[in-house]
Structure 1
């Protein structure tokens, strides 16, 4: 099932302008269709150069360029636009030629166009939906190829050497930087296993106690390993599992040249008495800063993530690495700590040197540092956890939306089926029975009472069909802001005065909201009996909701019927008017109930929740 298109632009090509009008009439009965017409195949080709269309409908018989020639020209230009051709009766061979030439559908002209165009509209929507889905798939495949190319280019652009191997140890990928670091050629890597590669390069590396070339023997996973080369280079090695749908598919090794940095850190360690070995090896960020927020020390993990081209973060303000909305809470917690208050762990967001956002949990305490009190904070990366929580929430929301949509669709289908199959058939049986009675009368004239009953049943069928048309549109379009005063002002009634005391009220509701007030007016006119006036008012309730009241001066509604009137099929007419009102309002959380007093008139109270209305005084 393809998504139903909402905007279908159709180009009609026919040298008969009257037939153009007929096609446009039938198509534009559905709002999603818009039609442009031309008189010849040449004009159609010119329009296709200037405009974009969803489909083409062309007559076969036209001077100069007929419909079949136009189809062949369009297809020869590589245009796969849905193309429908129509022919006269007895032209089945033309239809076959059209389909062979790439037409998506054909239509044979007949004496009764209505059924044919119903078939045309149904097939046209499906053809356009399928074509749009195919185009979207092509775009998606092209994007995937583009992303793959971008990934390969990124792999080659990185300064790190990259090696990818399967869980069995077979090499499946590498970049040029990897070959450069280890002085290898492609032919030495192609078709080799990881173990064979390490055997080739082991003589370049200075062995270290309790460490293999590929990683650490300490048992800690994903810890970086420094490889010291005989030419004095220092390479940092990382390994990460490749995980797809929860399954480890292989490993990715990365090698980063840390020669300059390691030499600098060695010089720094020789000049300092403070042993930072343990802190530097922590995966968390450890930052020491003073009361003003100035960074005095940051461990290796923090330097890697927060250093920029301008240098490492030491000496900078901690606030320049925080999102602006977290400045206040960090500043307040600094003061609380220096005031000896207990500050529980809290979450903030950091901006890394690659502009990515990192969610961290902050745990801190006051320590003496270089002769003064300072704050030592440990920042633990919780980004993956947060992303997982957000993804789970999005999935739950999507699932709920899907469930609600399926429930709504099933409800509508059941109701429409019930109306069309049961209720309308009942009325047809009534008409047929009365026609049978009338035919058995020994008179050339049908009695008026029988004709009146047939007319009433026909009227009911008409209203039931009107209801199904309205109900099938329910919830299809997005809710929108609507001027309640204008909707009520647009109501018309010859015998009832409508007092509109609603001013400045805008309601967020389904586009069928005007149908609510039309049905309320119809209900007052049909069932109020003595109604001469309707008054509409609005008042703000104590809980912040807006109450919209529709009151008439008719006979009112009995207490036992107040809830029943909103049930499907209840009432003396079709029994769908009040039901449709409740369904339309419920789409945006608006409730309705009848609170009038029998004998004093009906009063319908519509409660609009906060956030779904705007009142301008």
Structure 2
């Protein structure tokens, strides 16, 4: 028997989608019909046909070499077509089986269907039409089987991946109920069976369930989250640190249909991070020494400022006080300049050592701590530059300053600055009073959140001039309204608002914050009577 190559690989069972034809075994006790059908089908070029004159021979032939499809008559001596169908289903599974018979009995059709016949085709008299129909039926049956086998193998591969994945894959419904989770969760959380987990709310496994609600809110907005660190609980109630990567599932209606994601155990990574922190004590020591140098500088500046105030108090004569103050400030500036120079030299050396260390380090975590040290050094440089700007505070005589000229005129996208009733107003203040409004602007932009409006106004109240700086940001909490003016308080240098108050106090001007949290900050500057002038215009005369 000369058969063509089967469309199913004998090794893998998958369709060979080259130019191979379909291999068919035709079973019938009429030799003439077998030969006629064989010639007709092979003449189409779609099939290679082998023939068997009995069901018993057909089984033997199939055992030696499987076929893509079987065509069988019903009424044959010995074993009939239905019995052959039973034997084929028992031994060879879902191989396409076409019952091709002249018998039109309904009971035969029903029995064939009950035993899994693929197609039932009645023999006719027009051979050409029968051949075309047979080829169509055979191709349709074989193609469907190939598709079903490919789908089954795809599902098996997917199941194998999920069942053997090290990380945990899971899926929830829209209510947060677990509908699927991979077996790798069992050793991670200490459970014995997936039945203990499926059907439960995912919030039950969170140490802090409210954090899950927060995460879901973020997820619905961003659609996808990667490596979000959370703490879960094992079956015994122990903590386990994990990183989750999640994405939103949307159904065919475009509605939220749950969440699917990956859970990774990062307990070992956290342990390594702790060990790296321990091993970097030497770098932390350098940081502490640098911090000590900065504290020494601050202490020196404070002592000099106190000495300066003492000289002012003891001097009886304003002229002698001014001269003494000028000399003290000159000394202060000189000392500050020398100290700044020395510290900057130390910072330059520190940055050099950090660069040498970075060239020798390949570990990403250690590199991250080097980044932090470089950031600390940069902060110190910024603070030293800050002291250079304010070194002349109180060293010059107060002057009459135009308020409008003190307001910073900047343009930022999305920010509107409104000035009201500031024309022709002068205040008696330290020459660097412009820094007051620069710091208020910096404070608004840096800490005010999503600020879109700043309004600066002036009015007279009980003999004082009240200058108001108001924004529509997040405001300042009540407990912090006075703390923000303390030296060292805040997220940046901690000196900005402290120096604002000090600059104003030189001429008796005060400042306070009276805004409402979540509605915006309001800084109210109160200039005492005699400390301001309002020039009348011709229209006011």
TM-score, structure 1 normalization: 0.31
More helix by share: 2
TM-score, structure 2 normalization: 0.35
